[in-house]
Amino acid sequence: MIRHRANKSGPAPVGCPLESSLKLLAGAWTPKILWYLQSEPRRFGDLKRDLGPISAKVLTTRLRELEKRGVVTREVKHTSPPTVEYALTSLGQRLNPILEAIAQVGGEINKLEKKGELKPLREKAEALSAV
């Protein structure tokens, strides 16, 4: 018979803050958008070029969600033609060390996969077709 061992971490905090942070970072393109905004405000067109194959509709949706959550600000510049700049709020800037840590761990994972010491994760489509 297997004995139950008590969890040494203790119970998860009420309204788990870890879950809230991960929910904020979840979503296609969100981490990359935050990454490109970490050093300076960017115009919509610049972000679109930085991100590559993202549609304008998806980028607009993500930026609106981030603005609504208080992570990004949107400033309309009264120029000709009008331009819009996006920047991180203080909350958004607090995510920078998290993104850098994730990127650093990702780099280590890539090295281990190249050495064959870690099996690469299958892509979603590949994993679904195997089912």
Q: What is the DSSP letter of 38?
A: S
Q: What is the DSSP letter of 112?
A: H
pTM for the full predicted model: 0.78
| Domain locations along the chain | 21-129
Question: pLDDT at position 124, please?
Answer: 53
* Torsion of the alpha carbons at 58, 62, 65 and 66, rounded to the nearest 10: -170
Helix (H) or strand (E) holding 29: none
Q: Which CATH number applies to 21-129? A: 1.10.10.10
- The pair of structure tokens assigned to 5 is 């061992």
Q: What tens digit of pLDDT does each residue of 56-103 get?
A: 999 999 999 999 999 999 999 998 888 999 999 999 999 999 999 999
DSSP per-residue string spanning 55-67: -HHHHHHHHHHHH
